[in-house]
Amino acid sequence: MKVKNITNGPKGVNSVDGPVEIGPGQTVDVEMSEAEVASSKRMKWFEFAGSAASASDDDQPKTAAEVLEMAKDPNVQFMSFKSAATKLLGDKTPSKKDEIIAALEDLATKP
């Protein structure tokens, strides 16, 4: 979706990949959830063209093996990894990365 900042100062939106800063008069192509588009439209700082993502890949459930692969990827931020792990581990998600990995490995080996 195309998003144009129609204000005199920089503004930001939350894309499915994280925050995106948009300079005054600048137009960017970003993928945003329907809820984020609705929230951004209320601010009246932007013009929108295109459609919002109805279900991004981030919304789809991941397996323990997929989340473990995220841990190995240097481009994946810790909080993204922890969020995906929390969807699998629930309230019992440890706070440290190595402990999360151990819990996911345990989950992956269970039938």
Taking the domains of the chain in order of start, what are their residue ranges?
A: 2-56, 61-109
**Dist. CA 50–CA 54, nearest whole Å:** 12
Read off the pLDDT of residues 37-87 as tens digits, 9 standing for 90 and up: 888 898 899 999 876 554 445 556 688 999 999 999 888 889 889 989 999
Q: Taking the model in full, what pTM does it have?
A: 0.47
- Express as a percent the part of the chain with pLDDT over 70: 89
- In order of 70, 85, 95, the CA distances from 91 in angstroms are 20, 10, 11
Read off the pLDDT of residues 11-20 as tens digits, 9 standing for 90 and up: 999 998 899 9
